[in-house]
Amino acid sequence: MRPLLLTLLLLCPASFAATLTLELPDGKHDVTTEQLLANPKAQDIEIPADVSYNRTMHYRAVPLATLLQGVKPADHLQAVALDGFAAELPAAPLLAEKGSRAWLAIEEADEPWPKLGDGKPSAGPFYLVWTDPQAAGIGPEQWPFQVASIRYLKPLAERFPALLPAKNAAEPVQKGFAQFQKNCLACHRLNGAGDSQFGPDLNIPHNPTEYFAAGYLKQYIRDPQSLRHWPEARMKGFAAAVISNQELDEIVAYLKHMAGRKVKAGG
C-alpha cells in the first residue's frame, strides 16, 4: 500500500490560497482551497470549546473522512504541522461518522480566523477540529492546526521500536506507553525515536524522572508555568479532564521505566 501524504503548499498567504496534495492508497490527488470549499459535503460547523482559541468558533469544514479514500479503521495516520508538531492519529476516529467526528476546517479569504496570540498567525489555512470530542476521548494533541501534512504510516511501535517498554513491563507501564503516544509524542521524542521536531527528547541525555524531585514532574505536566515561567513557553499543560490522575501516574511509570532503557533509535 502506498503511503498517504497530504502536503500543504502555501501559494499566497494574503489570500489564504493553498493546495492539498493527497497520496492515498488509490493514488495521488491535488485539491485546492477553493475546491475544498466547494466540496458537496462542506458545511458550516460550530465548535463550542475550540482547543486552540479557548472559545466557541465557527468554521467552513469538510468531514475529514471524505478525503481519506482507501484508508481503513485499523490504519495509522500522522498529521504534521508547519512548526514540526506531529500528531499520531489512529484512523478509526478520523473515519467515524457518529459520536466524535473529525473535520478539516478551511480558512476563507473573506473570513480570516483570529490570530493565536500576539505576533502569531491564525490556526489556518487548515485545522483538524472535532465535534463532540468527549465521546471518543479526543485530547488536545489530536487538534493539530496549520496542518502541513497527513500521512498513512505503519504502526508506531513498528516504526520506532526504541519507544517500546520491555515485554514483561507492568500493566501501568504498558498503559503509560499508550498515553505517551496520545499526549506526548506529538511534541517530544524518546530515545531519539519519533517524528516531532517540536520539543526535547524525554530520555536522552536524561529522563525527567531523573532530575525532577518527587511530585514535581506531575505538577509540571499539569501546569508547566507553575514551575518554570517564561513568556515563550509552548507547553500548555494537561488538566485532569484531559489526563486523569491515574493516567498521569501511568505516564510517569512509563517514563521511569524507560529511564532504564536508554538506547539511541536505530542504534
Each residue's pLDDT tens digit, 77-87 = 988 888 878 88
User: What band does 152 get if pLDDT is binned at 50, 70 and 90?
Assistant: confident
User: What band does 8 get if pLDDT is binned at 50, 70 and 90?
Assistant: very low
Q: Is residue 103 assigned to a domain?
A: yes
User: What band does 232 get if pLDDT is binned at 50, 70 and 90?
Assistant: low
Residues 98 and 214 in one domain: no
Residue 231 has pLDDT above 80, yes or no: no
The three cell numbers of residue 129 are 477540529
Question: What whole-number distance in Å separates Cα of residue 102 and Cα of residue 200?
Answer: 29
Highest-confidence segment of 43-47, 151-155, 183-187 = 43-47
- Whether the pTM exceeds 0.95: the reply is no
Q: Give the per-residue pLDDT at 159.
A: 87
Domain count, the chain: 2
Q: Is residue 263 assigned to a domain?
A: no
Residues 118 and 184 in one domain: no
Q: Is residue 82 assigned to a domain?
A: yes
Residue 12 has pLDDT above 60, yes or no: no
Cβ atoms of 209 and 259 within 8 Å: the answer is yes
79 Cβ contact list (under 8 Å, min separation 6): 86, 87, 89, 128, 144, 147, 149, 150
CATH code, 185? 2.60.40.420
Write down which residue in 131, 153, 175 finishes a domain. 153
Torsion of CA 32, 81, 4, 33, to 10 degrees: -10
Residues 90 and 179 in one domain: no
